[in-house]
């Protein structure tokens, strides 16, 4: 795992007692998915290998790779921001986001509902739907049948890709984060 804090990059294991702060950027440089669990705030996210996220108050920015986000009910609005000027408004949901090298993003709902906001327009996405998000000028495409999503955009086994099996590196505990 790499932690980038105020422009200084450090390779570390992020043990549960290690605090995370506003504007920290974490990147999973390992070969296994890494689970970061924030007990105090009640959310958890799983970073696939090579995934990179920035932590901010009420917002996470996903820069690359795939991540599973699991959020309990949050007060106010919490957002996940994607590189193509798209934000995902969430409140107590479980979903997967994969940023593909071609600039397209895929969002797969596992539980709950989110609002995808692109160029000021909100599009709801609920279980079991998936969404394909292209460049900022392309409309969001919703797929009600997961099998209709174009091949190759999500890994064959999302479970293995995001460490939903037993082969994950877990970093959880009573983490006192300040973001």
Q: Are 118 and 136 in contact (CB under 8 A)?
A: yes
What is each CA distance from 170 to 20, 85, 135, in whole angstroms? 16, 30, 33
| Distance from C-alpha of 114 to C-alpha of 93, rounded to nearest angstrom | 7
Q: Which of 38-52, 63-77, 87-101 has the highest mean pLDDT?
A: 87-101
- Looking at 39-43, 56-60, 121-125, which range is the least confident one? 39-43
pLDDT tens sequence across 132-150: 998 767 889 999 987 888 8
Task: Write down the pTM of the prediction.
Answer: 0.82
pLDDT over 80 (residue 160): no
| Distance from C-alpha of 151 to C-alpha of 130, rounded to nearest angstrom | 13
Residue 169's pLDDT band, with cuts at 50, 70 and 90, is very low
Q: Mapping DSSP to helix (H, G, I), strand (E, B) and coil, where does residue 146 land?
A: helix
pLDDT over 60 (residue 55): yes
| Distance from C-alpha of 41 to C-alpha of 37, rounded to nearest angstrom | 9
Q: What domains appear along the chain, each with residue ranges and CATH number?
A: 2-144 (2.60.120.1440)
What percent of the chain shows pLDDT beyond 70? 80
Which residues does 55 contact at the CB level (< 8 Å), separation at least 6?
Answer: 20, 21, 22, 23, 24, 25, 26, 177, 179
């Amino acid at each position: 795992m790499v932690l980038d804090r105020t422009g200084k990059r450090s390779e570390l294991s992020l043990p549960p007692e290690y605090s995370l702060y506003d504007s920290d950027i974490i990147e999973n440089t390992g070969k296994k998915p890494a689970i970061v669990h924030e007990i105090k705030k009640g959310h958890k996210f799983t970073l696939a290998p090579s995934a990179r996220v920035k932590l901010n108050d009420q917002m996470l920015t996903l820069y690359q790779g795939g991540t599973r986000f699991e959020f309990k009910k949050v007060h106010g609005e919490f957002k996940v921001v994607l590189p193509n000027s798209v934000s995902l408004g969430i409140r107590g949901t479980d979903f997967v986001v994969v940023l593909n090298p071609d600039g397209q993003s895929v969002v797969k709902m596992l539980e709950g509902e989110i609002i995808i906001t692109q160029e000021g327009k909100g599009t709801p996405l609920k279980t079991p739907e998936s969404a394909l998000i292209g460049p900022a000028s392309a409309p969001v495409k919703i797929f009600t049948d997961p099998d209709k999503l174009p091949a190759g955009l999500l890994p064959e086994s999302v479970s293995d890709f995001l460490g939903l099996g037993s082969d994950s590196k877990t970093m959880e505990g009573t983490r006192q984060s300040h973001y």
